[in-house]
Structure 1
Amino acid sequence: MQIQHLRKITAIGGGHGLGRLMSTLAFLRHRLIGVVATTDNGGATGLLRQAHQCIAWGDIRNCMSQLANQPLAADVLNFRFQEGSTLQGHNLGNLLLYTLDELSARPIDGIQLLSRLLKVDSRVLPMSESPTDLVAATQENFDCHGEISIDDLPNMPVRLQLSPQVQATPEALRHILRSDVIIIGPGSFMTSIMPPLLVGEITRAIVESPAKVIFIDNLIPELGPAGRVALPQRLQWMRQQLGVELIDLIISNQEYPQLSVPVIGGVEAEEGTPHRHQRASLLDALERATALLRCGAA
């Protein structure tokens, strides 16, 4: 079965990676949703969160900027106020999403309004509509707070969790349970991929869903502790954190004979940007992946 014939696909992650994946699959329109990490505490997003105790808007903005079908939409959403301005360091897209949230009953109402204005056909949903932070235990105590600090760790933490624990966005759970395929990644392993999976309801919904789960590996090692660990060890660490095996197939240019699931490679990078998946090549890999999973289920 080809991707365009699938009824529903859920993409899970954050940062630039999820936006790249969603823009690659944008032809699916309303059949595609992204479940976005909302734990970022750095940069413009961190400034806004410190002042207003809101969810992290940066990864949501990033996805929308790559999906928008309006001229200059990406430039407007990603515009950053420069030094000397009273809004120094802030990002216009984050401020716009925060404002729409303040005017709406729920965060997803504001996201949906902006999606209509920008002609974004796929749904972008936060993993939760409540603010939360990523916290890591390096020994016995949870002593490393926030994504910025976690990315600076010398080694993978013993444990990762959300503080406080939050409920999943209900619409995201419904879509996951009805999906044919769920795609996790690419992106920063601990700060983009793990946060949505640490929302217990999301991981339980993935397990309960009939969907096959595809994991997309990064093209080059990321900065931080996860980039210094091979994929099999990262996936084993994920299993230990979540208490369940989620992955049915992996897209990666590296060969890992010890893995018990199929691995599909041959994904090219965007010219001049070695960490960014080339859209046509990524789509081809996803087509091969869904065909293989279909054959395995037959």
Structure 2
Amino acid sequence: MGNRTLSDLNQVVALGGGHGLGRVMSALSFLGPRLTGIVTTTDNGGSTGRIRRSEGGIAWGDTRNCLNQLITEPSIASTMFEYRFTGNGELSGHNLGNLMLKALDNLSVRPLEAINLIRSLLKVDAMLIPMSEQPVDLVAIDQEGHEVHGELNVDRLTAVPQSLQLSLPVSATLEAIQAIDRAELVIIGPGSFYTSLMPILLVNELAQALRRSTAPMVYVGNLGRELSPAAASLALEDKLAIMSQYVGRTWIDAAVIGPDITAGHIGERLIVREPLSASDIPYRHDRHLLHDALEHTLLALDNRYLKTPA
């Protein structure tokens, strides 16, 4: 098993939402259809939130963001997909990509097929799968035991919530379960901990798939401080412990973090600490540096260098 490279893998699965998942997928886009992103669908802010309030449906914003980052051939289609309306009218602030995906949804195309149609239009080879094709919201139970509904409100929490749940039980997208079952490497992060990463782990069938998987599991940490006060208060060891609690086992084998991040007490997990920052935006991951760090992580995991000082 030793000395595999990322190019040797038949199925890599990345979990998350928005900018972070898009960054990982663009770093690994050379894998083409062997790369699958499973996308959080609980966003209720911005253009996405407005569409959901008026039309219903799943949140499209994180999927659109990932697709934008995977476009390698600029075209009229990609320019349209990325276009955001300005001015003071009803369309102001709306992203045309969100509206295109929602229009396909309204035409009774299942959400995954809508994504596949847009992928074909934009010449994106990597797969993108919504965590569920049923509309759902994120709910937190705060320190006082009150329910806090929606990503926007959860991100405003100043104290770590007692627990997280979905507003109703939803089925995982079947193709997402199948992708995890076939995965030879699973990556989660970077991204907003409570609102980009955790919702996927709250879908029972996806948590079960991660629990039974024997693939190496890698967490990619954020480079900047989280905007959510509650999430910003969590150390790396806290995040790994919370994720393990919801999946039902200790499932992260390695953490890829920047050189300034403190690892803390994380047991026998592998820590890969390397420069990861993009030169133009320091809190964003550089695609090439992230690719190299993931390559080093796979090699180390394959060689079973799992013990690091706690």
TM (norm. structure 1) is 0.96
For residues 163-193 of structure 1, the C-alpha deviation after alignment (integer angstroms, 9 at most, x for no partner) is 1111100001101101100000000000000
For residues 253-275 of structure 1, the C-alpha deviation after alignment (integer angstroms, 9 at most, x for no partner) is 22425211010011321112011
C-alpha displacement at 1:215, in angstroms?
Answer: 0.3
> Separation in 2 of the partners of 1:56 and 1:10?
20
> Separation in 2 of the partners of 1:9 and 1:166?
24
1:272 is the counterpart of 2:275: no
Which is further off, 94-103 or 230-239? Answer: 230-239
Give the aligned partner of residue 149 of structure 2: 145
Match among 9, 13, 23 for residue 12 of structure 2: 9
Task: Give unpaired runs (5+ residues) of structure 2.
Answer: none
Match among 215, 228, 233 for residue 228 of structure 1: 233
Give the aligned partner of residue 95 of structure 2: 91
Contact 2:85/2:96 (CA < 8 Å) preserved in 1? yes
C-alpha displacement at 1:75, in angstroms?
Answer: 4.1
Give the aligned partner of residue 42 of structure 2: 39
Match among 278, 298, 302 for residue 290 of structure 1: 298
Give the aligned partner of residue 31 of structure 2: 28
C-alpha displacement at 1:139, in angstroms?
Answer: 3.5
> Separation in 2 of the partners of 1:41 and 1:131?
11
Partner secondary structure for residue 132 of structure 2: coil
Please provide the CA RMSD for this pair: 1.6
Partner secondary structure for residue 21 of structure 1: helix
Match among 104, 124, 131 for residue 120 of structure 1: 124
The residue type equivalent to 2:40 in the other structure is A
TM (norm. structure 2) is 0.92
Match among 241, 245, 255 for residue 250 of structure 1: 255
C-alpha displacement at 1:89, in angstroms?
Answer: 2.4
1:79 is the counterpart of 2:83: yes
Q: 1:144 to 1:235 in 2, by over 3 A?
A: same
C-alpha displacement at 1:105, in angstroms?
Answer: 3.3
Q: 1:217 to 1:84 in 2, by over 3 A?
A: same
> Separation in 2 of the partners of 1:241 and 1:9?
22
Match among 185, 190, 210 for residue 186 of structure 1: 190
Instruction: Work out the number of aligned pairs and report it.
Output: 298
Contact 1:44/1:91 (CA < 8 Å) preserved in 2? yes
The residue type equivalent to 1:284 in the other structure is D
> Separation in 1 of the partners of 2:146 and 2:205?
22
C-alpha displacement at 1:88, in angstroms?
Answer: 2.1
Give the aligned partner of residue 164 of structure 2: 160
Q: 1:257 to 1:41 in 2, by over 3 A?
A: closer
> Separation in 2 of the partners of 1:134 and 1:246?
23
Task: Give unpaired runs (5+ residues) of structure 1.
Answer: none
Contact 2:138/2:149 (CA < 8 Å) preserved in 1? yes
Identity %: 45
Give the aligned partner of residue 56 of structure 1: 59
For residues 122-173 of structure 1, the C-alpha deviation after alignment (integer angstroms, 9 at most, x for no partner) is 1011000000000000146452110000111101100001111111000011
C-alpha displacement at 1:235, in angstroms?
Answer: 1.8
